[in-house]
Chains A and B, each alone.
Chain A
Amino acid sequence: MYAWKCWRESRARFFFLLILFSVTALLFTLQPGIEVRDGWWHFDRNEYIRNPWPTAHVVFSMILSVLWCSGFLSAVFLGATAPGSEIEPGTIEYLWTRPRTRASVTWTHWGVCVGEMVLVAVVPIYLAAALLGALTKHWDFPFLFSAPWMMVIVGLPVLGLTTLMTALRRSASGGLIYASGVVIVYAILRQIIIVPLHLNLPTLFAGPLIWLMNNNQFGVTPSAFPWGALWRAVFLAAAFPLAAQYLLKRAEV
């Protein structure tokens, strides 16, 4: 029943993100065929049939340039409804006097958010892929099909971080702001350190997505996959919610 409560509480944010990213992905897919003739918008499918791969590459680049952040955004917005966010408004007294362990509550919320994150990442891009396939009559877009899963992999540590920050800050807004702050400050710090000091500070967990954005050309042999960044992401995706679970288990309200 707590899963239903999590869904009920986050569904507005979920639908907002889903619609926003789906509309964006579909518009970017149609964009190469749109032209203005005699002051009117027209759609010409010939470009998709004549040059399927370059067109697909353009579409994919445009989609990724905007939707790369979908994992991050859905993680912070959905993750901010984590159990820690109920401490400040006081509903935690109700929640923690139901016969469910605090660990099960934490992981149920995490599970619901992962499900929503997967849908927010998969649905827009697979819709775009389906439309692109119908327009080009080709269905072989491996990068496009793997992109949502990279976004989820990048989003999972952020979801865990947001869960941890809501437990630390004991509020939804605190969790959202602090989780975003940590990610943004690290990214800025990384740039500041890399350029003048030539230090190779690793990407915290965005490596797989950066690799995808740099290797999205069809027919080109991709560079080595950043397995280190992937394992770092997996480790942090598990470590952050575990830390939140520990904090919440010890919390007094």
Chain B
Amino acid sequence: MSEAAILTEGLSKSFAAQTAVTQLNLRIQPGAVYGFLGRNGAGKTTTMRMLLGLVRPTKGRAQVLGLDPTKEAELMRILERVAFVPQRKQLYGWATPAELVRMNKAYFPRWSDEAAAGLAQRLEIPMKTAFKKLSIGNQSKVALLLALAQEAEVLILDEPTAGLDPVMVDEILRTLIEDHVSQGRTIFVSSHHLGEVEQICDWVGILEEGRLLLESRLEEIRQEFRLVIASGEGLPATQSADVVSATTDGRFRRYVVAREAERFATELRSQGAAILEISPLGLRELFLHLVRKEDPCTPGNAGAKAVPVSSFS
């Protein structure tokens, strides 16, 4: 197996009494586009910061391109080869984007002036206006330009499209696919826009309260993952290798099954359960099922209440 672009083993971080990340194990292969999903405060940003040496792990270890970000000399080599767009896209207010480009290019040996000029044009960035006078959307675009023109081997993007209009989001995604994914660069991106993640990612990891709930290929989710709703007495409550989530909803039990849903349903039937539904799951439904603590409310069933089993019979 080739060296992972990003690797974490038992990575944990606590801030005083608060645990941000717990026992996180990730192995992201070079060239993968990995969507890192989770609710606010799930630990996504803390994980990214640990990869970039901004925060030190409490336990466990991380490697980026085979290098340890907790060692200064190795961190410098990581930072030369990794581009980062932080969640808070804060740059020097007095500087114009043109000045920021000049300042940034001096740090990176692989910097591409051509890419920077192209991005400035495609993203319609006013290059001679002070950063503090730009709209939030334009500030995000500048942060993206600085990261993308770095021609880095790994892109770590923390909510890169926050504050951008749909046209610009589309432009950014196209740029990422055309200029970066196609060249085999690794992208580790966190986003709350699941549609964007589905558009560009081939892997997803879902984080909740610092724990990795699920890691899978997106294709696998589309083809294999099923929601199984069953009712009956004594249904299994715990998760197994195939069952990634089991929640109780009134008299029903909802199972998110990673593979062989039919076989699982047959097992439940043999235990006397009634199977009410076996349905495929999109990323959005899967995410909501995994991270919601109550009944999921998708646009189709907003405000849905648990229906007694007798209604189905």
| Interface residues of A, Cβ cutoff 8 Å to B | 1, 4-5, 8-9, 89-91, 93-94, 96-101, 252-253
Instruction: Please give, as numbers and ranges, the residues of chain B lying within 8 Å of A252 by CB-CB distance.
Output: 49, 54-56
Is the Cβ of A91 less than 8 Å from the Cβ of B92?
Answer: yes
> Contacts A101-B76, A252-B54 known; A94 to B107 CB distance under 8 Å?
no
> Contacts A93-B54, A99-B80, A252-B56 known; A8 to B95 CB distance under 8 Å?
yes
Is the Cβ of B76 less than 8 Å from the Cβ of A94?
Answer: no
Is B52 an interface residue, CB under 8 A from the partner?
yes
* CB-nearest residue of chain B to A253: B54
* CB-nearest residue of chain A to B143: A94
Is B264 an interface residue, CB under 8 A from the partner?
no
30 contacts between A and B (CB under 8 A): A1-B107, A5-B92, A5-B95, A5-B103, A8-B94, A9-B92, A9-B94, A89-B90, A90-B88, A91-B90, A91-B91, A93-B88, A93-B90, A94-B86, A94-B90, A94-B91, A96-B52, A96-B53, A97-B84, A98-B79, A98-B107, A99-B77, A99-B79, A99-B108, A100-B76, A100-B107, A252-B54, A252-B56, A253-B49, A253-B54
* CB-nearest residue of chain A to B82: A97
Q: How far is the CA of A101 from the CA of B104 in the complex (A)?
A: 15
Contacts A96-B52, A97-B86, A99-B80 aside, 4 further interface pairs with beta carbons under 8 A come to A9-B92, A94-B86, A94-B91, A97-B52
Q: How far is the CA of A100 from the CA of B75 in the complex (A)?
A: 9
**Majority secondary structure of chain A interface residues (helix, strand, loop or mixed):** loop
Q: How many interface contacts (CB-CB < 8 Å) are there between A and B? A: 56
Is B302 an interface residue, CB under 8 A from the partner?
no
Q: How far is the CB of B88 from chain A (nearest CB, A)?
A: 5
* Band of interface residues on B: 20 to 34
Is B114 an interface residue, CB under 8 A from the partner?
no
Is B294 an interface residue, CB under 8 A from the partner?
no
Which residues between 94 and 121 of chain B lie within 8 Å of chain A, taking CB atoms?
A: 94-95, 99, 102-104, 106-108
Is B178 an interface residue, CB under 8 A from the partner?
no
Chain B 204-239 per-residue mask, 1 if CB under 8 angstroms from chain A, else 0: 000000000000000000000000000000000000
Instruction: Please give, as numbers and ranges, the residues of chain A lying within 8 Å of B108 by CB-CB distance.
Output: 99
Instruction: Please give, as numbers and ranges, the residues of chain A lying within 8 Å of B94 by CB-CB distance.
Output: 8-9
Is the Cβ of A253 less than 8 Å from the Cβ of B55?
Answer: yes
Instruction: Please give, as numbers and ranges, the residues of chain A lying within 8 Å of B165 by CB-CB distance.
Output: none
Instruction: Please give, as numbers and ranges, the residues of chain A lying within 8 Å of B80 by CB-CB distance.
Output: 99
Instruction: Please give, as numbers and ranges, the residues of chain B lying within 8 Å of A89 by CB-CB distance.
Output: 90
* CB-nearest residue of chain A to B72: A101
Instruction: Please give, as numbers and ranges, the residues of chain A lying within 8 Å of B104 by CB-CB distance.
Output: 98
Instruction: Please give, as numbers and ranges, the residues of chain A lying within 8 Å of B55 by CB-CB distance.
Output: 252-253
Q: How far is the CA of A98 from the CA of B108 in the complex (A)?
A: 8
Instruction: Please give, as numbers and ranges, the residues of chain A lying within 8 Å of B79 by CB-CB distance.
Output: 97-99
Instruction: Please give, as numbers and ranges, the residues of chain B lying within 8 Å of A8 by CB-CB distance.
Output: 94-95, 99
Q: How far is the CA of A90 from the CA of B139 in the complex (A)?
A: 14
